[in-house]
Every structure is written in structure tokens, then in C-alpha cells.
Amino acid sequence: MDQSSIIICRCEEISLGQIVDTAKEYQCSSREVKLRTRAGMGYCGGRTCRLLVDKIIQQVSDAAIPHETTLKYQPPVRPVSFQNLGGEHS
């Protein structure tokens, strides 16, 4: 399996290759990669891939961007009450 085909953002089905290519072509920050590829903009709001996208961009650029605004977590698409999670209805 080619490493560039590994899916990084499962919600939007964005691969490692897409992220790396976008970052190299446009000299992007994590935030810009998110806007160009939609990585981290799916149902989970970046909770599963945000840190990984940040790390990939850091490795591609070979330098940490000290004051860059990192990707943020988004609230769930639909809030769920604790009562629904527990399965008990009164």
C-alpha cells in the first residue's frame, strides 16, 4: 500500500498525499490546508485528525510556525443528552 493513499481525515476522505501535495504546492499552514482540502471539516469537526494534520504540516515545512492559529475542535453536529447516552428514559 502506498503511504500517500493513507486516509488522514476519515470524515472527508482526505489522504496523506492530498495534504502533503497541497502543503507543498501552496506553502500552506495547517489552517490553509484545512480550507483547501476540507481535512478536519467533517462530522467529527477535526477531533480525530486535527493533531495529525498539524504534525504533517510541521514535517513538510521543516519548521514550526510559532504563532499560527491551530485547527480547532467543533461542537458535535447534533447534541446528545446524557439521558439518551445512558439509554434510560423516565
pLDDT, one tens digit per residue, over 2-33 is: 888 999 999 999 999 999 999 999 988 888 99
* Domain containing residue 58: CATH number: 1.10.10
CB atoms within 10 A of CB 35: 14
- Model pLDDT for residues 25-61, shown as the tens digit of each residue: 998 888 899 999 999 888 888 888 989 999 999 999 8
Q: Is the pLDDT of residue 70 over 80?
A: no
SS3 25: helix
Q: Which residue has the higher pLDDT, 36 or 84?
A: 36
Count up the domains in the chain and report the number.
1
What is the distance between the terminal CA atoms of the chain, rounded to a whole angstrom?
51
pTM over 0.85: no
SS percent in the chain: helix, strand, coil, step 5: 45, 5, 50
Q: Look up the domain containing 17 and give its range.
A: 3-86
